[in-house]
Amino acid sequence: MAGAGRVLPRAFFDRDVVDVARDLLGRIVESRTPDGFVSVRLVETEAYAGEDDPASHAWRGPTPRSAVMFGPPGRLYVYFTYGMHHCANVVCGPDGIASAVLLRAGEVVDGVDLARARRRPGVADRQLASGPANLAMCLGLDTGGTGTDVVAAGSPLRLRSGDPVPDDAVLAGPRVGITRAVERPWRFRVAGNPYVSRPRRAGG
């Protein structure tokens, strides 16, 4: 919204996915749907580096589900998992290189009422978007959002420049919920921020 800065250009996403994941902290994701507007300040992300990354959905080449990851940067990849959850990624790197950043957590800064309505009743505000599935829920995203161009004018989901987080305020640690390539420290979060996905030890 006003004050959230300019819409991030496609070139922002057309870079090394690890750099993009770190640089997305402090940026604003905004969702505009028929039922309203919600915006979230990102505080936690993860990088997935495509065919070279055993933890990535793109690891063994394109499938119907992961096809969008192999396309141009700036598109959404929303997948359904555990029979009940949706998680949202933004495709990064040049066309043909399947990498993406998983949006893991954030602070709802606008449209809090709508975000609350999309979550179970009674959820604390600091937990509204704490976790990738919770964040996707706040934004009203499901697999139908896959392919959305977050750079296009009038897109229902866009990213704005917000206030970038300086490197010395960023913690890097292992990614969550994966069993392969666990050692790659490609989860990034804002140090000491209360809106990160559920309480974890510092440095983790």
Partner DNA sequence: ATAACGATTAGCT
Partner DNA sequence: GCTAATCGTTATA
Which residues would be at the binding site for DNA (CB under 7 A)? 46, 48, 55-58, 60, 63-66, 69, 77, 79-85, 87, 89, 100, 102, 119-120, 123, 127, 131-135, 143, 175-179, 197-198
Are the C-beta atoms of 95 and 72 separated by less than 8 Å? Answer: yes
Task: State the nearest-atom distance from the C-beta of 89 to DNA, in Å.
Answer: 5
Separation CA 33–CA 48 (nearest Å): 28
Q: Residue 118: left if φ>0, alpha if ψ -120 to 50, beta else—which one?
A: alpha
Cβ proximity to DNA, 83 vs 166, nearer residue: 83
Cβ proximity to DNA, 4 vs 149, nearer residue: 149
Task: State the nearest-atom distance from the C-beta of 133 to DNA, in Å.
Answer: 4
Amino acid type, 57: H
Tokens representing residue 64 in the block: 């119907």
Task: Number of helices (H) and strands (E) in the chain: give both, helices first.
Answer: 4, 8
Can you name the residues that pair with 99 across neighbouring β-strands?
92
Cβ proximity to DNA, 116 vs 119, nearer residue: 119
Cβ proximity to DNA, 39 vs 89, nearer residue: 89
Task: State the nearest-atom distance from the C-beta of 23 to DNA, in Å.
Answer: 17
Task: State the nearest-atom distance from the C-beta of 64 to DNA, in Å.
Answer: 5
DSSP reduced 3-state for 145: helix
Task: State the nearest-atom distance from the C-beta of 2 to DNA, in Å.
Answer: 29
Cβ proximity to DNA, 172 vs 178, nearer residue: 178
Asked whether the CA dihedral 67, 69, 46, 193 is positive or negative, the reply is: negative
